[in-house]
């Protein structure tokens, strides 16, 4: 990877107001350009808001929709990572993250894991993605995940195994209270998860969470960057809008992967073999080895 200056665009999107949110992205992008940033990262569903319910079909856009032109124009000056509702072929609506650079969509990621527990109802509104792919950004190999994806360990592992050196995580993480004299609980939980992931995958982790309220739900903010050693390199405050600028250094990645050659030493054959065995057990599938032995006997 090359050195890169990243701006964390911790904003409070307006629910269902695409035009207002698009303008907020453009303002933040201009501010980030002024700070010398190469890239600005926004939260999950940053162009639409989160608790969309029956507004999902109204706000869904194909990725070549002309309404995205202002975002593409802004990306001529600075790369942009943003979230929206994608209207995919067959009118399958996805919670999607975009990497936009030099006037085009360079990569998109559809959220893989749609939570339907507690206060979350995403499985009723969206179709799940089914691919984990890294991509070549102008700054080096990278990957994107959306909120719940990071809580499923294989997602970040698969990106790292493909070569991703930076993983962008877009989130709509709500607050879960705070104890007197201590920080917002959800911020601390996310920081621990990101630090552990960064250490195990020896990757830079760039996490951007939204702030603001929707229908009584408060979002925690606390966006941050964690280096490949698991150290916090920069962070935004909880609860308030902010634009935090953080430098990602290539030499830090090199030192981490030299000290901890975890990716080099991964045994993919072992993983593949054991996953096949677990899949057979979980879904009560026939044992291929047993079938082969039977055929030989016959």
Residues 205 and 298 in one domain: no
Residues 6+ apart with CB under 8 A from 273: none
Looking at the fold, whether 10 and 84 belong to one and the same domain comes out as yes
Number of CB atoms found within 10 A of residue 199's CB = 19
* Residue span of the structural domain in which 278 resides: 267-298
Q: pTM value? A: 0.95
147 classed as catalytic:
yes
Is residue 249 among the annotated active site residues? no
289 — pLDDT class (breaks 50, 70, 90): confident
Q: Are residues 85 and 176 in the same domain?
A: yes
Of the candidates 148, 160, 155, the one whose C-alpha atom is nearest the C-alpha of residue 130 is 155
* Distance (Å, whole) CA 13 – CA 45: 8
Q: What is the pLDDT of residue 179?
A: 61
Pair 244, 273 in one domain: no
For 2-31, what is the mean pLDDT?
98
Catalytically annotated residue among 86, 111, 148, 214: 111
- Residue 32 tokens, joined: 């980030």
Lowest mean pLDDT among 153-162, 172-181, 192-201, 229-238: 172-181
d(CA 51, CA 59): 12
| Residue-wise pLDDT tens digits, 169-186 | 999 999 876 666 667 878
Structure confidence at residue 181 (pLDDT):
63
Cβ-in-10-Å burial (0-12, 13-18, 19+) of 27 comes to middle
CB contact at 8 A, 83 and 56: no
Q: With a cut of 80, say whether residue 254 has pLDDT above it.
A: yes
The two tokens of residue 244 are 């935090």
Which is catalytic among the residues 86, 122, 125, 147?
A: 147
When divided into structural domains, the chain yields a total of 2
What pLDDT sits at residue 44? 98
Q: Enumerate residues 6+ apart whose C-beta is below 8 A from 226.
A: 191, 194, 195, 197, 198, 204, 205, 207, 232, 233
Mean pLDDT value across residues 10-29: 98
Confidence band of 287 (pLDDT split at 50, 70, 90): confident
Write down the mean pLDDT value for the chain.
95
Q: Are residues 281 and 252 in the same domain?
A: no
260 and 271, same domain (yes or no): no
Using alpha carbons, select from 145, 207, 205, 211 the residue that is nearest to residue 174.
211
Residue 192 shares a structural domain with residue 55: yes
Q: Mark whether 256 and 274 lie in a shared domain.
A: no
Separation of alpha carbons 172 and 44, rounded Å? 6
Same domain for 76 and 147, yes or no, is yes
Position 187 pLDDT exceeds 60: yes
Query: Could you tell me if 178 and 184 are in contact, meaning their C-beta atoms sit under 8 angstroms apart?
Result: yes
The pLDDT of residue 177 is 65
pLDDT at residue number 265: 97
Residues 292 and 145 in one domain: no
Write down the pLDDT at residue 184: 83
Q: Within this chain, do residues 278 and 176 fall inside the same structural domain, yes or no? A: no
147 and 288, same domain (yes or no): no
CATH number at 84 reads: 3.60.110.10
Q: What percent of the chain has pLDDT over 90?
A: 91
The Cα 109–Cα 129 span in angstroms is: 8
Whether 111 is catalytic? yes
């Amino acid at each position: 990877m090359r050195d890169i200056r990243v701006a964390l665009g911790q904003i409070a999107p307006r629910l269902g107001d695409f035009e207002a949110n698009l303008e907020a992205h453009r303002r933040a992008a201009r501010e980030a350009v002024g700070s010398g940033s190469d890239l600005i990262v926004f939260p999950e569903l940053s162009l639409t808001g989160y608790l969309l319910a029956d507004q999902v079909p109204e706000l869904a856009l194909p990725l070549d929709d002309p309404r995205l032109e202002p975002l593409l124009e802004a990306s001529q000056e600075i790369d942009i990572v943003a979230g929206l509702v994608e209207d995919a072929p067959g009118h399958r609506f996805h919670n999607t993250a975009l990497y936009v650079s030099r006037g085009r969509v360079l990569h998109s990621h559809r959220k893989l894991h749609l939570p339907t527990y507690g206060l979350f109802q995403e499985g009723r509104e969206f179709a799940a993605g089914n691919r984990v792919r890294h991509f070549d950004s102008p700054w080096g190999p990278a990957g994107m995940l959306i909120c719940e994806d990071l809580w499923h360990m294989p997602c970040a592992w698969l990106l790292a195994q493909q070569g991703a050196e930076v993983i962008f995580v877009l989130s709509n993480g709500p607050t879960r209270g705070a104890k007197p004299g201590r920080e917002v609980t959800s911020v601390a939980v996310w920081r621990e998860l990101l630090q552990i992931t960064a250490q195990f995958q020896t990757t830079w982790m760039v996490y951007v969470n939204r702030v603001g309220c929707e229908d009584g739900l408060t979002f925690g903010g606390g966006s941050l960057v964690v280096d490949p050693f698991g150290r916090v390199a920069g962070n935004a405050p909880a609860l308030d809008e902010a634009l935090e600028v953080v430098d990602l250094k290539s030499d830090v990645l090199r030192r981490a992967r030299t000290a901890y050659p975890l990716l080099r030493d991964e045994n993919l054959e072992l993983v593949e073999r054991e996953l096949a065995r677990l899949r057979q057990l979980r879904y009560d599938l026939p044992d291929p080895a047993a079938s082969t032995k039977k055929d030989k006997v016959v």
